[in-house]
Structure 1
Amino acid sequence: MAGEIPDLEAQVRTGTGKGAARQARRDGMVPGIVFGGDNDPLPINIPFNKLLTMLRKGRFKSTLFNMKVEGHDDVRVICRDVQRHVVKDLPTHVDFMRLKRTTKVNLFINVEVHGEEESPGLKMGGVLTLVRPEVELVVTAADIPESLVIDVSALEIGDNLTISDVKLPEGAKPTIDRDFVIAQVSAPSGLASQSDDDEEEVAADEVPSTEQSDGEE
């Protein structure tokens, strides 16, 4: 589960519109907005370097932040969108939504794999495929998990691990209402090719010969 909620410091952005946003970027800031809850939208600026560092750490959109803005009460927020420069791929605007502790949100949670060294299938040379590196869950704002841990230690070659095999965080549930596959262990390509060749040889042996019947006529 997520640990202590990290602080995210921002400044009130004076003025709105494209002109104020461009000025913020010239000042080394990324303009943004905080919306939702019972309060009006709040235009903010976040230091570019700090935001870029957090984005590069990953899981930014699945992290609950305690936003601190001078002159305003602290509020829990979650990122809903990061707009980026089309060429440089750097953040140009960021949107945050205010949350209550009991608010339900849909988030993509990264899958973390445990038990690879113990898996019989992987020991035999099988290949682990992470079908879903992320799983979308409905979670409460106060209980957002850092990751969804799956245990592949018992998987043999040909086995699948589905969402029903995973212990979900309390109060969380998948957005997909079926038992979908998250990971699977398949045979190594060489073994799979050999199996296909064997099947072709068997099939050829099972084809009846017509030479004898031609001689009898």
Structure 2
Amino acid sequence: MTRLSVNINKFATLRNARGGNNPDVVKVALDCERFGAQGITVHPRPDERHIRYNDVIELAKVVTTEFNIEGYPDDRYMELVKKVKPAQATLVPDAPDVLTSNAGWDTIKNKSFLTEIISDLKKEGIRTSIFIDPVPKMIEGAAKVETDRIELYTEAYAKGYHSNKEAAIAPYLKAADLAKNLDLGLNAGHDLDLDNLSYLKESITYIDEVSIGHALICDAIYYGLENIIQLYLRQLGHYR
């Protein structure tokens, strides 16, 4: 069964826009769990424009579902992750100034770097996942750096879904099958929403986890947080 991890970065963006602590991201995380979310994802960027490093420390004290920390594995990220010891570290190749993640790792060019980082995280008992485009040679490279999972970068799928969903999903089907054959766990994320999520899940039934933030939070403005999490869970086959 595919699990839903809620990325709460945008709640922190809203808080930071006004100062103070409204919304309270710790309370948000606890409420997401209470409403059925099966994981909490954060991405603390160096400029702390949304999730702050101290937020991660405080969240680690209370999150009881799977805690997933995304980020570029520089020294500060590694220090934080080793201190917090989340269930999963998702490594992204983002430069510090990018608005949002926009590409997967080149696992061939970065083989030595990723191998060292992943080995270091595994020694700490932290499951690793790396952000990957649906490109076979990059997935083969992911297996060689011995990551536990890959997270398929689904922006291209989301963009093509409404015009031709069969064509949009095709490279992801091949990528997912290759990952499965290489014994890699499979996550997915980026621009997934209520329109395109169920087709992704129906097409690739063995996705371990999806991480969804921006679309879910936008929908929550209209539908309410508890209701929207239940709607997303239904898209993944969970019924309460």
TM-score bucket (shorter structure):
under 0.3
The structure in which a higher percent of residues are strand is: 1
Larger Rg: 1
The structure in which a higher percent of residues are helix is: 2
TM-score normalised by L of structure 1: 0.24
Higher relative CO (Cα under 8 Å, sequence separation at least 6) belongs to 2
TM-score normalised by L of structure 2: 0.23
